[in-house]
Structure formats: C-alpha cells, structure tokens
Structure 1
Amino acid sequence: MTKRALALLLIPFLFFYALPAQAAVEKEGRKWQDESIYFIMVDRFNNGDSSNDYEVNVKDPKAYHGGDFKGIIQQLDYIKEMGFTAIWLTPIFKNEPGGYHGYWVEDFYKVEEHFGTLEDFKKLVKEAHKRDMKVILDIVVNHTDYHHPWLNDPDKKDWFHEKKDVLNWKDQKEVENGWLFGLPDLAQENPEVKQYLIDMAKWWIKETDIDGYRLDAVKHVPKTFWKEFSKEVKSVKEDFLLIGEVWDNDPRFIAEYGKYGIDAFIDYPFYREASKTLSNIDQSMQPLYDVWLRNKTFYKNPYLLGTFLDNHDTVRFTRLALQNKQYPVTRIKMGLTYLFTAPGIPIMYYGTEIALDGGEDPDNRRLMNFRTDKEIIDYIKKLGELRNTLPSLTRGDFELLYEKNGMAVFKRTYKNETAVIAINNTSKSQKVRIDNKQLEPNKELRGLLAGDLVRGNKDGYDIILDRETAEVYVLADKSGINIPFIAVLIAIYVAFGFFLYFAKKRRKE
C-alpha cells in the first residue's frame, strides 16, 4: 500500500519530463486520435429521473431498466475523472415498444420518452462540453423498426427493399438490400429516402451540437450513399467525426469504406485478437502487433481506429476471463493497459470498470452498479492520466521491441518524447534486456504507472516485472543527484512517518 501511495505522489514530478511534447500537442490542437471514449447504453447506465420510468422492469433483460439523460449528466464527472474525453451513446430516437437499446427507430426526429426530452439531451451535450468532453451519437440509417408507419403508407411503398432476409452474407448486393434480422430495409438509392436521412442527420447536429456519429450497420448501406451523406453531414460542423461499424474481419474490406468519407472505424479485427489474447494468460501478444502492421498498410489513418475489448453486441470481456478460469479484474487491467497505450482510439464499454459480467445479448447489457469495488477504476484513472499527458501514447509510432509468450515491450516515439510500455501477461515474473540499439543509451526509464526506475548501463536496460503487471516508462536523462527532488522525497517520507506515528498513538489511546 505504501509503495502504491508513493508511486501516485511521484507521478506529477515525473510528468515534468513530458511537458515539451505536450506543449507541442497543445500548439497543434486536439485531434480525434487523442480522445478516449466511454460507451454507454443509455437505458442500462443510470436512472436520474423516475418520472419517465414507463413499464420499467429491471428483472426483465429485454425491458427498459430506467437509464436516462439526467442519469448520464449526474455521472459525467465520474466518467471524466477516469480520464475519458468523449462519450458514445446508443441511439436516442423514439423506438417501438421494447426497443430499450435504441436500434428499432419509430421516429427519427423524436427522442425516446424513456430517456427524457430533447431539452434534456441538449443539456447533456452542453454539460459534456463544459467538461471538455465530446458527444458521439449512434445513428441508424439502414432500417426502421418492425412496425414502422411507412410500411403501410402507399406513398412510401418504394422506400423499402423487398422483404427478404440476408441469407448469403458473401453476396454484397444481398447484404445491402436484405432485411437485417427481419428489420425493414430502407432503400437509400431512392432520392427521397436519401434526402430524408441526410436532412435528419444534419438536423440533429444543428439542433443539439453533437460532435460525431457512430454509423450503425455500414456495410448494409450502399457506398454511394455514404459518399453523399458524409459530405453533407460534415458541412454542418467542423471536425465532425464519422466512425463506422463495419462488422468484418478483413481490414481491406473495412478500409474500402474510408474512400467514401467515413473517417474512422470500429476495429473488429483488433477485437477478435484482443478478446482472445488478453482474456487469458501466457498468450503471445504478437497477433495484436500484427493487427497494427496490417492497419498501417490498409488504412489512410490507422490512428483513428476504435479499439475495444467488448461491446453491446459481444460477450462481456469479464465472461471471457471467467471462461478461461482467470481473475477478471487482473485481465481487465492488462487489457486496458494495451488499449490505452497502443495506437487507436480506446473505447471502453460501460461496466468494464466494475468487471460487469454478461453473456450473449441481452445478458451483456446489464444495469450499471456504482456501488462496487474501485480497484479497476483507480487503475483506469492512472491510465487515463498517462494517455492525456503523454502525446507519444496517442500520436507516436509503434514498435515491438520484445515478445515471448505474453511478455511484451513496445516503444512509442513522438518528437522528443519516447514511451516504453512493458506488459507481463504471463504467469511468472519476467526479466527482459532491451539493448542500446533499441533504446538510446545512457539514459533511464522512469515508470509512471507503478513508479519503477530502470537505469541504462553499457549493455542496455533490464526491465523486471512481476506476473500479470505492466509499466509505462518515459525515457529521460539520468537524474543524478537532484537535490530539490530528493528534498521532496524526504519530506514525503517524513510526513508519512508522522502520520503512522500519530495513527499508532491514537489507537493506543
């Protein structure tokens, strides 16, 4: 406990060495790749207004559970304190009965009454912006709800494709025109449909001042539509982000949509490797690095890929760890360490910070609990502070220096700042020698996550980590005898000694 407390006290002093690179970032301006996203399923997060609890039943996994905009507003500080700089919300549009998740849209211009009012949502966006946090809204343009009024409107009979489910997932025409899970498929090639959807998307930006859209079911919509959609939407607000969900394991297929105006993508190939590798122990981390090498080849800007361990469409990462007979808290720490320090925009699904369990949909959408152990939350706070302070962790290159059966060391360099990330995802303590060809010699590695210090010698740097632990270092000149720094350390130890003395004395009394 003493070592952890001391490490936390040292972090502000060690951050001093990252200031030159950080100043350069501030001068260049904040970019989307600098963000970290907290993903919220609105209905399952926090109930802040009981007046909109219509037919709420927290015991029914397919019913509304009461989460709303006011509940999110109440927890914005909680999210920001963990270091997140943006929130992504599931669709907020009025849904047909039972559409707690938001993807069965009944009215594209109305807010779902279970979540609050349009004014409530506007306040949420304003409150997020006050905290310098961005808001990304999930938007659905592929389909409507099962019983949409347009289906019975003679004037809109050509607004939908022929009723036929997707059967051959390798036939792209069928993927785009088929009804996804029986949901009525909109015909975006129809000029009226296209204009309606574009106008609707622009209206929400103008009306609420949101900062980005997460585009649902991208590959089920023609690329020609996305080209015009992206051009029109981005004309409304500068630096508006479009991040697409292309659920596919081929990065070449996903990257193709980048030619049609979509800025970023949810990285499913990364998820496939990360969920498998990081939910277990003694697994090589080479496949994760290989994903990055492929991403550099296929994407215009691979730093804009949204990386994640799980989401509302997958089994919870906690469940994967349990299936592997692993302690979920430790697995989550290892997983998030990689997520926050490797290239990409980290996206963390709500509840991960409390190791929320869950199997297949809808079990993976359980109600959030704010009265639980804070171990992971405290760890995320440290990771968030590092990511928001060290530009090398958001903009730096990415090089694998060492990997063996889960013990990995990575290097990231941005301008005059070098970060070294060491992750021991094995069942034993590990010692790794990084030679002077891999890192500049005669310096030292200052650990910012756990307070470790590694001094270089004539042979290089010896990094030693306990099992299932990680450290994030910055490369700096050897400190030598730093009188002010040592004086601060002495003061800390003396103060801590007095604290222990008086605590012991009070117990005796």
Structure 2
Amino acid sequence: MLKEAVYHRPKNNYAYAYDKETIHIRLHTKKDDVKKVSLIHGDPYDWNKGEWQTQRAEMKKTGSDDLFDYWFASIQPLYRRLRYSFLLEDETEQTVYTEKGFYEKVPVEGIDYHFCFPFLNPIDAFEAPNWVKETIWYQIFPERFANGDPSLDPEGTVVWGSKDPTPTNFFGGDFQGVIDHLDYLEELGVNGIYFTPIFKAHSNHKYDTIDYMEIDPQFGDKKTFRKLISKCHDRGIRVMLDAVFNHSGYYFEPFQDVIEKGTESKYAQWFHLKENKVVTEPLPNYDAFGFVPSMPKLNTEDPEVKAYLLKVARYWIEEFDIDGWRLDVANEVDHAFWREFRHTVKEAKPDAYILGEIWHDSMPWLQGDQFDAVMNYPFTNAVVDFFAKKNITLSHFKNQLTHVQHMYPESVNEVSFNLLDSHDTPRVLTYAKGDKKAAKLMYLFQLSYSGTPCIYYGDEIGMTGGEDPGCRKCMVWEEQDQDLELFAFIKKMIKLRKTAPAFGNDGEFSFVDYGDELLAYEKISETQSMIFLINPTTEAYDLRFEENIKQVVDVDEDSNMKDHNIHLAPSGFIILERR
C-alpha cells in the first residue's frame, strides 16, 4: 500500500457540510492500490469506560483518474460533531490513516489523533440557488443576436450579417431584438439567458465599461430593459448579467479624470498608477487587463471603488429584478471584495446566482463565502478535446472528467456552469471541423451531465466561427440557412433533461465499463436508472445486454436495439433505461 498517495484534508472539497444535517467526506488513494476503505467516526464527547465510542461506514469508490481512486461517505452525525479516521485495506495489510499519520489499530486513547469536523453550523452549508439546478442557459452577445430597433443603431452600423465580424464593426443588435425572439428561445426549451455586458461602453463587446449605471444606448433604454426582464420572467426565463469589476473602460469618467490630472485626480486611488501621469504606449504604466491600455484595472481595495461597485451590484437587482451576476476576470479581484459582494447580492436577492469567470482550479472562491459556481472550463476542455479535436483517448477523457467531478463539493458541482464554447472561443462546429455527429455527441454529453449547461447563441442552428471575432457572427434568422435538424435534436435533449428524472441533476453520474472503445455512463435517481452508450469511433460497435432494459427515445436513427442486442453506428449513441 503506497501510503504517500493517501490524502485527506478536513475542509474544502474533502470534508464539507452538504446541507444542514449532512457531512460529506472524501479521500483519495493511489489508483488500484486499496481495495476497501471504511470511515471510522464518532462524537468527540461520546466515551464509555475510558474509551472513545466509534462507528464504521464503508466508503464508496466514486471514480478514478490516471493517478488516484476517490472514496466517499455521507454522514449525518446526531450531534453535528465529528471526529474520524480511515481504515484502509488491501489483500495483505490494513492501516488506519489519522491526522497524525498511520497506525496499525484505531487510536482510542485520545481523539486528538483523529481528523476533526468541529461542528456542522447550518450557516456554513453551501447553498446555491435551487433553480439553477434546473436551468438550461442560452448565452447572448447582444450586439449580434437581433436588430429589433434600427433607430438605435450606432453610427456606421452595417447591414445585418452582410460582413464578417471584426473587433470594431457594429450590426445593431439590441434588446428589442431579444424580445422579438423570446418565442424562439421558449421553443428551444432554454430557461435562462446569460447576457454579455449591456452597460454603456465604447466597444462592440462592451467589456470596457463607461458607465455601470447606464445601459448602452445601442441596446435600448431602461424601460425596454425592464420590459425584457418582465417578459422573460413571464415565460419562466431567468436573466443573468455580466459584471466587469476587475477593470473599467478607457472612457470611464474617473479614469478620464486621472488621464487629465494624474495623481492629483480625486480618483487616482481608484486605479493602480505607477507614475504621476498616465502613459498608454508602448505599454500602460498602470495595471490593466492583460496589457490592454483601454481596460485599466480597478482598485477594489479602495473604499470608494468598493462602495460604487457594490451599489451597482445591488441596483440592477433591486431596480430590474435580474437573477444573477456573471463576474468577468473574477480571479484577479481580491477575495475580500467578493465576500462583501456576495453579502450585498444575497441581501438584495437571496436566490441570486453568482458565477465567476475562472478557467483554473477555483476552490478558494467556492467555499460558500464568495461564488456559487464558476465557468467550468476544465469540463469544456475535456469534452472539446475528446469529441471535437479527437486528440485525447477515451481513458484520458474519463480521467479528466473524474478529476473535474472531485475538484469541488457536490453542492458546487450541481450548479457548475458547463459550457462547450462562448464569445471567447471557437464555436462547437468549428472545433469539430464541421462534423455534426461529433457536435451532437457533445450536446448529448453536456445536457446529460451534472451542473447547469449553457448553449452559445446560434450553435443550435449550426453556426460556425473561429476565435474572437469569428465566434461573434450575427445570428442567422433566415430559416433556409438554419440547420433545423440540429435544432430539433438539441430541443429534444433539453426536453429529456427536463422530463426524465435521471437525465439531469437528479441523476448521480458515474462512468461504467462496456469495452475500451465505448464511452458509457450511468445516471441514477431515486425513480430512474439510465445508461448512455456512445460510440466515438469510426467503426460500428455491437454488444449484448442481459439486463432488462428499454430504449428511452429514438434520437439516433442509425443506432438501435433489438431484443438485447445493441447496434451503435459510427459516432452513434443510444439511451437506455433499466426496467
């Protein structure tokens, strides 16, 4: 037994309050090294005749990646206190893993040997909004979705879709355009809209804010925005806005004052100036997003900046009833600010969703005091690499996803924002080099995976586009130019997620093994057990099931089941349900 590979930490994603009564405990060991793990646990004050009283619970192996096996137990301690250790067994030995190391027997002479969960305080239980677990998001880049009111078009606006997008051109997308197409979104089945920034800005992408309290005039006014929110809510569609609090735009009034007056400006402390006067070329002499001079970094430690941004966070919730904030470049803003931000937002609307844009391991932001979730780019990368780019093996893909599943507490995973592409990446079909079958497999996997999935506008009708600005084309509204078959497929997957209990977040996800070439996973809820079989290869795949199963829905006409014999076409799939 390789003891050096055994790891547990009594906090974060290894020991946490899942709800007000339940503690989740995790452990990892070297892959294929330990055969059985038992959790030895007890109340620290429960003693009898000088001995600490303990119980044992067998831990479940919840997955493996290329290095580790992951073990899990769910405990509801009677008095909400817990001391615990782990009994590890293989074919030849057993050992007890404690906070002080490894022992042959369970140390009972003192509880200080054991890991400690001091008390399950209800306020420490991570509680993300329940509605997010049932939400399918649709990301809209407002400038490119629909032009519903040409009278708002910025100077120089070009005819819709008449040119390729560039970093500087405008096509006139606006709020009225979104309102005009809410029937379309409702038909697709989405029930959440994530808007990239809508506030007054200089660029077409609006990530260079001029005024955080005003809507960009090309999109409409506050009356139209309030109408949009109301109409969305009438249809059961939630709305999340994009907040750029890491940096402002070049034409943000306080920064313009700093440009004019330098360190003599009353706003000098709002930014991170390195010299008396602002210099933008060849590199800015102030902190910025990357080295982009038009995006000066805000000093969120400054009390005035903090008060201003928190006012913004509260205003759009209280005045317009938005349902969430997506936070741009969230990892470059200090944790203290995000803690105050969460308090402000949850005070204004307790079930508002707070989503951080972080592309790497985000555990420091996901401990219940800052964000509800982050954009799940590790998930994105694994799915794109496997299905679209085809540059990793099935084994590698499963290892990556298993690692992602164990990065965060289960309460975080349930609301993790799972995207396949966005305004910052190539589109799904472009990743897949036009392979629609591969794209379908990506959507099947995304929509049947734990978390809250997001579809980037236009992907559902087959739009393509490379890196920014190519991924920001105008939405195609001419039906003859839309891929209606792909639309119907994604619509059917969304309906399944909403109607089949195990398909969505109610189903516990786990990989199963039906052969080295076949991607197979189970989703099991209290009332339903589903099996997903995906053939990612270029050859047909046949297998026989002895279980009592039925096909859930016929969505891949080239794959089928007769009696217990299953035929999977190349890039084919089948969804089964245990009877």
Flag the 1:83–1:51 CA change in 2: closer, same or farther, 3 A.
Answer: same
More strand by share: 2
Deviation of 1:404 after TM superposition, in Å, equals 5.1
Q: Return the match for 2:139 from 39, 45, 49.
A: 39
Q: Return the match for 1:57 from 147, 158, 163.
A: 158
After TM superposition, the structure 1 = structure 2 runs for residues 99-114 of structure 1, keeping only pairs within 5 Å, are 99-114=203-218
Deviation of 1:157 after TM superposition, in Å, equals 0.8
Matched, 1:67 2:170: no
Q: Distance in 1 between matches of 2:143 and 2:382?
A: 29
Matched, 1:240 2:357: no
Flag the 1:285–1:138 CA change in 2: closer, same or farther, 3 A.
Answer: farther
Deviation of 1:294 after TM superposition, in Å, equals 2.1
Matched, 1:354 2:461: yes
Flag the 1:104–1:309 CA change in 2: closer, same or farther, 3 A.
Answer: same
SS of match in other structure, 2:348: coil
Q: 2:149 corresponds to which letter in structure 1?
A: D
Q: Distance in 2 between matches of 1:258 and 1:177?
A: 26
What corresponds to 1:496 in structure 2? Answer: none
Deviation of 1:376 after TM superposition, in Å, equals 0.7
After TM superposition, the structure 1 = structure 2 runs for residues 228-307 of structure 1, keeping only pairs within 5 Å, are 228-248=340-360, 251=361, 254-259=362-367, 260-280=369-389, 284-300=393-409, 301-307=412-418
SS of match in other structure, 1:137: strand
Q: Distance in 2 between matches of 1:163 and 1:83?
A: 50
What corresponds to 2:308 in structure 1? Answer: 196
What corresponds to 2:489 in structure 1? Answer: 379
Deviation of 1:68 after TM superposition, in Å, equals 0.7
What corresponds to 1:483 in structure 2? Answer: none
SS of match in other structure, 2:388: coil
Cα displacement string for residues 252-280 of structure 1 (whole angstroms, at most 9, x for unaligned residues): xx122112320011011111111111114
What corresponds to 2:507 in structure 1? Answer: 396
TM-score where L is the length of structure 2: 0.68
Q: 2:141 corresponds to which letter in structure 1?
A: M
Structure number with the bigger relative contact order (C-alpha 8 A, sep ≥ 6) is 1
Flag the 1:443–1:179 CA change in 2: closer, same or farther, 3 A.
Answer: closer
Deviation of 1:338 after TM superposition, in Å, equals 0.7
- Asked if the contact 2:247–2:288 (Cα under 8 Å) also holds between the matched residues in 1, the reply is no
Deviation of 1:346 after TM superposition, in Å, equals 1.1
What corresponds to 2:572 in structure 1? Answer: 469
Q: Distance in 1 between matches of 2:576 and 2:233?
A: 32
Q: Return the match for 2:226 from 94, 112, 122.
A: 122
Flag the 1:470–1:453 CA change in 2: closer, same or farther, 3 A.
Answer: closer
- Asked if the contact 1:34–1:395 (Cα under 8 Å) also holds between the matched residues in 2, the reply is no
What corresponds to 2:324 in structure 1? Answer: 212
- Asked if the contact 2:560–2:567 (Cα under 8 Å) also holds between the matched residues in 1, the reply is no
Q: Distance in 2 between matches of 1:152 and 1:282?
A: 47
What corresponds to 2:533 in structure 1? Answer: 422
What corresponds to 1:83 in structure 2? Answer: 189
Cα displacement string for residues 114-142 of structure 1 (whole angstroms, at most 9, x for unaligned residues): 11111111111111111111111111111
SS of match in other structure, 1:243: strand
Q: 2:177 corresponds to which letter in structure 1?
A: G
What corresponds to 2:102 in structure 1? Answer: none
Identity, in percent, stands at: 31
- Asked if the contact 1:447–1:453 (Cα under 8 Å) also holds between the matched residues in 2, the reply is no
What corresponds to 2:243 in structure 1? Answer: 139
Deviation of 1:464 after TM superposition, in Å, equals 2.1
The higher radius of gyration belongs to 2
SS of match in other structure, 2:414: helix
SS of match in other structure, 1:410: strand
Stretch of structure 1 that moved more, 466-475 or 32-41: 466-475
- Asked if the contact 2:560–2:566 (Cα under 8 Å) also holds between the matched residues in 1, the reply is no
Q: Distance in 2 between matches of 1:53 and 1:79?
A: 24
Q: Return the match for 1:332 from 435, 439, 448.
A: 439
Q: Distance in 1 between matches of 2:515 and 2:180?
A: 44
More helix by share: 1
Q: Distance in 2 between matches of 1:433 and 1:121?
A: 55
Cα displacement string for residues 428-472 of structure 1 (whole angstroms, at most 9, x for unaligned residues): 11123456xxxxx4444433535887588xxxx543211122222
Q: Distance in 1 between matches of 2:541 and 2:320?
A: 51
- Asked if the contact 1:128–1:135 (Cα under 8 Å) also holds between the matched residues in 2, the reply is yes
Q: Distance in 2 between matches of 1:291 and 1:31?
A: 28
Q: 1:426 corresponds to which letter in structure 2?
A: T
Q: Distance in 2 between matches of 1:341 and 1:387?
A: 7
Flag the 1:350–1:406 CA change in 2: closer, same or farther, 3 A.
Answer: farther
> How many residue pairs were aligned?
419
Q: Distance in 1 between matches of 2:390 and 2:401?
A: 21
Flag the 1:102–1:141 CA change in 2: closer, same or farther, 3 A.
Answer: same
Q: Distance in 2 between matches of 1:49 and 1:405?
A: 55
Cα displacement string for residues 75-101 of structure 1 (whole angstroms, at most 9, x for unaligned residues): 1121121121111001100002xx111
- Asked if the contact 1:332–1:352 (Cα under 8 Å) also holds between the matched residues in 2, the reply is no
Q: Distance in 2 between matches of 1:399 and 1:247?
A: 24
- Asked if the contact 2:244–2:329 (Cα under 8 Å) also holds between the matched residues in 1, the reply is yes
After TM superposition, the structure 1 = structure 2 runs for residues 425-440 of structure 1, keeping only pairs within 5 Å, are 425-434=536-545
Q: Distance in 1 between matches of 2:266 and 2:536?
A: 60
TM-score where L is the length of structure 1: 0.77
Q: Distance in 2 between matches of 1:125 and 1:287?
A: 43
Q: 1:262 corresponds to which letter in structure 2?
A: F
Flag the 1:92–1:416 CA change in 2: closer, same or farther, 3 A.
Answer: same
- Asked if the contact 1:136–1:214 (Cα under 8 Å) also holds between the matched residues in 2, the reply is yes
- Asked if the contact 1:41–1:365 (Cα under 8 Å) also holds between the matched residues in 2, the reply is yes
- Asked if the contact 1:162–1:178 (Cα under 8 Å) also holds between the matched residues in 2, the reply is no
SS of match in other structure, 2:441: helix
Deviation of 1:152 after TM superposition, in Å, equals 3.8
What corresponds to 1:93 in structure 2? Answer: 199
CA RMSD of aligned residues (A): 2.4
Deviation of 1:310 after TM superposition, in Å, equals 1.1
Q: Distance in 1 between matches of 2:352 and 2:233?
A: 14
SS of match in other structure, 1:342: coil
- Asked if the contact 1:448–1:473 (Cα under 8 Å) also holds between the matched residues in 2, the reply is no
Deviation of 1:329 after TM superposition, in Å, equals 2.1
